A = this chain, B = another copy of it.
Amino acid sequence: MTGITNVVSKRERDCLVLLKEQSSDDFPLRLHEIASTMKIKPPTALNIIRRLKSKGYVETQDGMIKLSDSGDRISSTILMVHRTFESLFCQSGVSESKACREASEIDFLINSDNAMKVLKRIDSPSLCPHGKPIKV
């Protein structure tokens, strides 16, 4: 089996993407920031973080939460798939915001190898509709 498929749930995916897009080694996120961004209460967020930790995707030090190497890798993959399908939807005439929402529902379910093939099929744009690089 090649490619990456379906190892995280929807909310785990949301959390990974949040960490990938809005944190860095210099600016790791705090639990309450994750909770408020995800519009959930801290105990709920803690639960998700705990699951991600047990999968090895997240590390915490002094309440600071950041992606592990493998978390960074899987987040990049999810974002690549996300931007590929976001681009597809936009090329098809779907609005940017709807394209983004739709892509978020499926990006963590789709095998990365298959997504890369789709990317070629839709003329390999290098940037997603928001202007971010598809392949990182």
Contacts and interface: CB of A to CB of B under 8 A. Distances in A.
Interface of A: 6, 88-89, 91-94, 98-99, 102, 105-106, 109-111, 114, 117-118, 120-122
Copies of this chain in the oligomer: 2
Contacts of A109: 105-106, 109
15 contacts: A6-B105, A88-B88, A89-B117, A89-B118, A91-B121, A92-B114, A92-B120, A93-B120, A93-B121, A94-B114, A94-B117, A105-B106, A105-B109, A106-B110, A121-B122
Contacts of A91: 121
Contacts of A114: 89, 92, 94, 98-99, 102
